[in-house]
Amino acid sequence: ILVETGIGGDLDPKFYEYYSVERKPGLVLSLEKLGYQAEDIDFVVNTHLHFDHCGGNTSKNEKGEDVPTFPKARYIIQKGEWEDALHPSERDKASYLEQNFLPLEKYGLLQLVDGNKEISEGVEVIVVPGHTSRHQCLKVSTGGKVFFFLGDLVPTSAHVGLSYIMSYDLFPQQTLENKREYFEQAIEEDWILAFNHDPEHFFGKVKKVNNKYTFEALK
């Protein structure tokens, strides 16, 4: 199971320069260093379809066509998010690039889900709106432990404070309310959290000190 595919590597070099993105070694080579081939991936979960989260869903073949990067995977995307990507608002239309997701449908690898769903034993996608209307997180329960991939609900450890919310969020009040709800669960059940945009602390936990939520790095 692969969660998010990053920004990809097939766009104009000026695009990557603008966002200060280092493309090498790239997603596929990074997976190969861990012992996995693209064909080994069974599921790809996109929390949402903004280009920095699903850009590696597809890649160019020898003909220059956009094809799914993971040919044996099912790409798990919320139905509402798919519809928003096809018909984006003026505010977020620049964040959706069709080459990142339309080929999934063309090649029969798209699996739309509508709401919370267990996609494999102990692995569940959970709708947590705020950043987008159908943004989803991933919860993995195994061996008495819970791992929770936050996506853009809480992009970095610096966003743990309830009022620290990205200006990109379409529904910031929902973001705040959902942060509170899931932080309380995370504290009670000692979840390990993933902060996908944090350059220093990808994993950590949340604690409550003097009625405020704080970040705690994994030891």
pLDDT digits (tens, 9 = 90+) for 166-186: 999 999 999 999 999 999 999
Report residue 81 as tokens.
Answer: 């998010």
Contact assessment for residue 42 and residue 74, using Cβ atoms and an 8 Å cutoff: yes
pLDDT tens by residue, 196-205: 999 999 999 9
d(CA 182, CA 205): 12
Task: List, in order, residues 6 or more apart from 128 with CB less than 8 Å away.
Answer: 135, 136, 137, 151, 153, 178, 182
d(CA 138, CA 194): 10
- Same domain flag for 83 and 188: no
Residue 185 CA from chain centroid, whole number: 20
- Same domain flag for 92 and 192: no
Whole-prediction pTM value?
A: 0.94
Task: Report the CATH number at residue 76.
Answer: 3.60.15.10
Residue 19: its H or E element: none
Q: Which of 114, 138, 165 is where one domain is finished?
A: 114
Report residue 62 as tokens.
Answer: 């020898």
d(CA 68, CA 58): 4
- Same domain flag for 34 and 106: yes
d(CA 111, CA 84): 16
- Same domain flag for 20 and 95: yes
pLDDT tens by residue, 79-123: 999 999 999 999 999 999 999 999 999 999 999 999 999 999 999
Q: Which of 84, 114, 144 is where one domain is finished?
A: 114
The answer to whether residue 132 scores a pLDDT higher than 90 is: yes
